[in-house]
Amino acid sequence: LSAPNDLEAWWLPFTANRAFKQKPRMVARAKGMYYYTPDGREVIDGAAGLWCCNAGHNRDEITAAIQAQAAELDYSPAFQFGHAGGFALASRIAQLAPGDLDHVFFCNSGSEAVDTALKIALAYWNVQGQGSRTRLIGRERGYHGVGFGGISVGGIVKNRQFFGTLLAGVDHLPHTYNRAEQAFSRGEPEWGAHLADELERIVALHDASTIAAVIVEPMAGSTGVLPPPKGYLQRLRQICDKYGILLIFDEVISGFGRLGTTFAAERYGVVPDMITFAKGVNSGTVPMGGVLVRKSIHDAFMKGPDHVIELFHGYTYSGHPLACAAGLAAQDIYRDEKLFERAKTLEPVWADAIHGLKGLPNVLDIRTIGLVGAIDLASRPDAVGARAYEAMDRGFQEEGLMIRVTGDTIALSPPLIVTEDQIGEIADKLARIIRKVA
């Protein structure tokens, strides 16, 4: 297949459309750490696709598992049947999960996982006879996908302003970033755990008995890599416990090794009431998401009051056999190659390399945590994000580097198979690109 002449192709995401008015960036193949263009150029992947290809691209083990599953059982309706791969993957994820989170609800994306988790929270309270708990609390600069639930609790105003009234009764915690205080920090910044106390303020405004759940990404990813200040997540947990509010961690990005542990919950020693996941679960190969909950929440949601009325929620493709087969193969790779531990070991190497870009022209801040990084560039007067978009485009066209940008921020998240040499290669290419866009 070749590039379409008509560049208005609808399936291109909006950022692609905007950036590619002249020329689309096309890829034809991928393997390991690299994408390859139709004319055979090699492009090192500094973003794991879209924070998802944690095991690297086109792993033979995953390809073989998908092929074998397709030849055996192509589809199975989750409302009628179970299949071995679904149970096996759910068990694997439950074993990896923190605390007593041992029930998995499968869906097909991060957005669906978030909407599912919010519905579970509301239903849970209803079934407990506490139907007044309907309020939801998100966070400024939170990203929870593009479903109606996700944009309601999400903290990006432009993502929700054109879409009507959305969910009622949503408040947002302040975001946790302050350049003046935490510029160029590594890992968890020391300052600002008191920000979690803003939850007390919101509770005081509304009465705790009206609040169903708080949802946060442990590390805000898509909005610029904002690691939580020390003690922040622990304090949120304490306040939620105090008032009986459910705490949901959206681990769509942070799950499956990105921060050096299976889930960020483990890194921070906090067990939330629910975890949403997607992306890395099967290394980005087949659309899949899910929600991890404990048994009592599962039972309330799936069985309804007195286990008589069954609540209805589920998707045609929930637990799709191909997604599950890919998931099992990806989890085998993660375990056998110890990729989550690898991310932890490489964290200081990665931090040194990316922080080494400090001092280049227009670099305002650099943040790293796990195998994630962000470089804030100064805005150009012409348009917010123009410099970063140019960096992304030059990276692909001239340097053979794929990065992600969000506003004026370059976001980085290489596959967890990245080597120390490749980290150096990514940093060198970034240095050249940043000088070029000065």
- Of residues 125 and 277, the one with the C-beta less far from ligand PMP: 277
- Of residues 260 and 434, the one with the C-beta less far from ligand PMP: 260
- Of residues 217 and 376, the one with the C-beta less far from ligand PMP: 217
Query: How many other C-beta atoms lie within 10 A of the C-beta of residue 252?
Result: 30
- Of residues 127 and 147, the one with the C-beta less far from ligand PMP: 147
Backbone angles phi, psi at 148, to 5 degrees: -65, -35
- Of residues 281 and 363, the one with the C-beta less far from ligand PMP: 281
Shortest distance, CB of residue 50 to ligand PMP, whole angstroms? 6
Shortest distance, CB of residue 52 to ligand PMP, whole angstroms? 8
- Of residues 69 and 222, the one with the C-beta less far from ligand PMP: 222
Q: Which residue in the shown chain puts its C-beta closest to ligand PMP?
A: 110
- Of residues 97 and 434, the one with the C-beta less far from ligand PMP: 97
Shortest distance, CB of residue 274 to ligand PMP, whole angstroms? 13
Shortest distance, CB of residue 420 to ligand PMP, whole angstroms? 27
- Of residues 89 and 252, the one with the C-beta less far from ligand PMP: 252
The 3 state secondary structure assigned to the chain is CCCCCCCCCCCCCHHHHHHCCCCCCCCCEEEECEEECCCCCEEEECCHHHHCCCCCECCHHHHHHHHHHHHHCCCCCCCCCCCHHHHHHHHHHHHHCCCCCCEEEEECCHHHHHHHHHHHHHHHHHHCCCCCCCEEEEECCCCCCCCHHHHHHCCCHHHHCCCCCCCCCEEEECCCCCHHHHCCCECCCCCCHHHHHHHHHHHHHHCHHHEEEEEECCCECCCCCECCCCCHHHHHHHHHHHHCCEEEEECCCCCCCCCCCCCHHHHHCCCCCEEEECHHHHCCCCCCEEEEECHHHHHHHHHCHHHCCCCCCCCCCCCCHHHHHHHHHHHHHHHHCCHHHHHHHHHHHHHHHHHCCCCCCCEEEEEEECCEEEEEECCCCCCCCHHHHHHHHHHHHHHCEECEEECCEEEECCCCCCCHHHHHHHHHHHHHHHHHCC
Shortest distance, CB of residue 266 to ligand PMP, whole angstroms? 17
Residue 213: C-alpha distances to residues 21, 101, 156, 163, 247 (Å): 42, 16, 19, 23, 6
Strands 363-369 and 372-377: antiparallel
Shortest distance, CB of residue 395 to ligand PMP, whole angstroms? 20
- Of residues 114 and 391, the one with the C-beta less far from ligand PMP: 114
Contact 72, 322 (CB under 8 A): no
- Of residues 121 and 427, the one with the C-beta less far from ligand PMP: 121
Shortest distance, CB of residue 182 to ligand PMP, whole angstroms? 21
Shortest distance, CB of residue 411 to ligand PMP, whole angstroms? 10
Contacts to ligand PMP by CB under 6 A: 109-111, 114, 143-145, 217, 221-222, 250, 252-253, 278
Shortest distance, CB of residue 114 to ligand PMP, whole angstroms? 5
Shortest distance, CB of residue 255 to ligand PMP, whole angstroms? 9
